[in-house]
Structure 1
């Protein structure tokens, strides 16, 4: 029986949960599909059958990626909070954040090089404007620089407050986005709560998803090891995801197709709005539940996704370089191929990304 005053119970897992890598890999694969289509063809050139259902499914990617970020923090780092090893672990997270920040800036150059003159690229590097395709990496980098310092506070909070805080943060973020002027700084607003004119991932706007991931990660730590409790946990996650999707369906009634098309066109993605988030998070939870239920067997069957999820940063670097530096800049592949051809390129790029990561991993093993 779980009491609402209970603090996190965080036993360490004996082995890496490959299902988490699988879920992260699916999120990145959907991201690669979306980025390939928008980066080589352009969304306006996608036929209706490509927007719904194909491009629609990629909207699960961002919520799934951020949820898994929170889950991974909980599984790998929360059990170490308060131990003698915690300062080293915290430093590791912060250094990882600096590494991701470097690659965020480097990939900003790669993304913008085929599209913008040097002054615009420099302005983006100095946080005077924002890119598009690499901005999720910017969110990830900044989050890693400050979240390690508040994880000990999370571990001291009773369950009722850990359940309430994500809702409170979400409400505060919406109120700030709509009613606070941020001292006239649109850039600060975009970084914290997002702005309609900038394609960013706000730290406060997306923090509820990270916190939800922390809660799911706590549940994984406690219940993933036993088949019976694992099945109940997966049923709960799948039920929540289905409930979110049902909520979207209710809001979309009676113009369901138009609502799905709006989601595919990113309406309500930045800043986040209720219909988009219900759809995106609902699908993400269902995918997550299926991955965790499948466990190691599913991770083995879907090995390319698991390999990608096991090294998310390298996967992100590889596909951005391939799309914008190699295909678009060097080969001039902008709007050269049809939509089916671009889909084939995306599938090939997903497999190439997995192959590259596996090759680098093998090379490192042989070099030891």
Structure 2
């Protein structure tokens, strides 16, 4: 039974939880397939049978990625916020923020090289505008600056306060979405998303990060107990299923289910977050997360390439952006040269390639 006055009392993880790596790997794998198609073929050129179901289902990726970001922070850092070494761990997160921000800027140049002028690239680097495919890294770089500041407070806040914070931030970001921010579109995009920019708003996505912290706490409590893990999986899958059912319920009310599915596949409601898109995306993410936890280490071993990709998300992200935009689009002039099925195949190969690259760099590091 839930104790709403309870503050986190977290056990230490008994080793690395590979199911979390698998869930993150699934998110990255879906993202790689989506980026391969949109980067090499273009969404406008995707046949309808590719939009639904394939690109419809890839919309689980972003929500799953952000949820797992919060989960990983809870598992690795939340229990240490009251310890003497917390300042050192906090500094580690801030250094990671700088590393992610550096690669965000480098990959912005890589993404824009084929078709953008030097002036446009410099303007983007100086936050005069935003890129498209690499902007999720910009979100993580900023989030890694503020999340370490709230973790100690989060660890002392009772459950009702944590849930109220998530609900309050959701309502606040929805209200702020209606404001003009004095005409400062860049600031609005950074805080709550803007329809003209493919940026990820910090306040708009904070509820997902904080929900990930709650789920991460539950994983630490339940994962190593089979009965409790099954209950957690049932809760996650049930909530996710209800959210997906809610999406279809709204689609039926509006009178056209297929059009609603096509709208999600075309990213309608992704920037800024819309109710139907988020119901489907977050609901599917919770289902995938529950299945990864249910499969545990056995599923992680069976799907080893995805698990390896999920164990080093930054390296996998760098690999696939460099391969799609620098190698295939710029050096090999492959924009528009691939059919849709070929682009899907490239996406699959890039998932395997990213796993091999991560494995190779680790092997080299071990044998230096």
Please indicate the TM-score interval, normalised by the length of the shorter structure: over 0.9
Deviations 1:7-56 (A, max 9, x none): 11211112010000000001001000000000000001100000000111
Q: What's the CA shift for 1:351?
A: 0.7
Q: What's the CA shift for 1:182?
A: 2.0
Q: Is 2:280 aligned against 1:279?
A: yes
Q: Is 2:241 aligned against 1:238?
A: no
Deviations 1:95-116 (A, max 9, x none): 0001000000000000001120
Q: What's the CA shift for 1:194?
A: 0.7
User: Structure 1: how far apart are the matches of 2:66 and 2:41?
Assistant: 26
Deviations 1:178-235 (A, max 9, x none): 1x23233111110000111100100000000001100000101111110000000000
In the TM superposition, 1:54-73 aligns within 5 A as 54-73=54-73
In the TM superposition, 1:59-98 aligns within 5 A as 59-98=59-98
Which residue does 1:9 correspond to in 2?
9
Which residue does 1:221 correspond to in 2?
220
Q: What's the CA shift for 1:155?
A: 0.9
Q: What's the CA shift for 1:337?
A: 1.3
Which residue does 1:159 correspond to in 2?
159
User: Structure 2: how far apart are the matches of 1:341 and 1:362?
Assistant: 31
| SS of corresponding position for 1:13 | coil
Which residue does 2:29 correspond to in 1?
29
Deviations 1:150-187 (A, max 9, x none): 11111111101111211110110011111x23233111
Q: What's the CA shift for 1:365?
A: 1.1
User: Structure 2: how far apart are the matches of 1:77 and 1:137?
Assistant: 20
Consecutive unaligned residues in structure 1, runs of 5 or more:
none
User: Structure 2: how far apart are the matches of 1:181 and 1:251?
Assistant: 28
Which residue does 2:169 correspond to in 1?
169
User: Structure 2: how far apart are the matches of 1:196 and 1:276?
Assistant: 14
User: Structure 2: how far apart are the matches of 1:337 and 1:224?
Assistant: 43
Consecutive unaligned residues in structure 2, runs of 5 or more:
none
Q: What's the CA shift for 1:362?
A: 1.0
User: Structure 1: how far apart are the matches of 2:271 and 2:292?
Assistant: 27
| SS of corresponding position for 1:278 | helix
| SS of corresponding position for 1:33 | helix
Q: Is 2:249 aligned against 1:250?
A: yes
In the TM superposition, 1:127-206 aligns within 5 A as 127-178=127-178, 180-206=179-205
Out of 340-349 and 198-207, give the one that drifted further: 340-349
TM-score between both structures, scaled by the size of structure 2: 0.98
User: Structure 1: how far apart are the matches of 2:188 and 2:346?
Assistant: 36
Which residue does 1:342 correspond to in 2?
343
Q: What's the CA shift for 1:354?
A: 0.7
Deviations 1:305-336 (A, max 9, x none): 00000000000000000000000000010011
The alignment yields a C-alpha RMSD, in angstroms, of 0.7
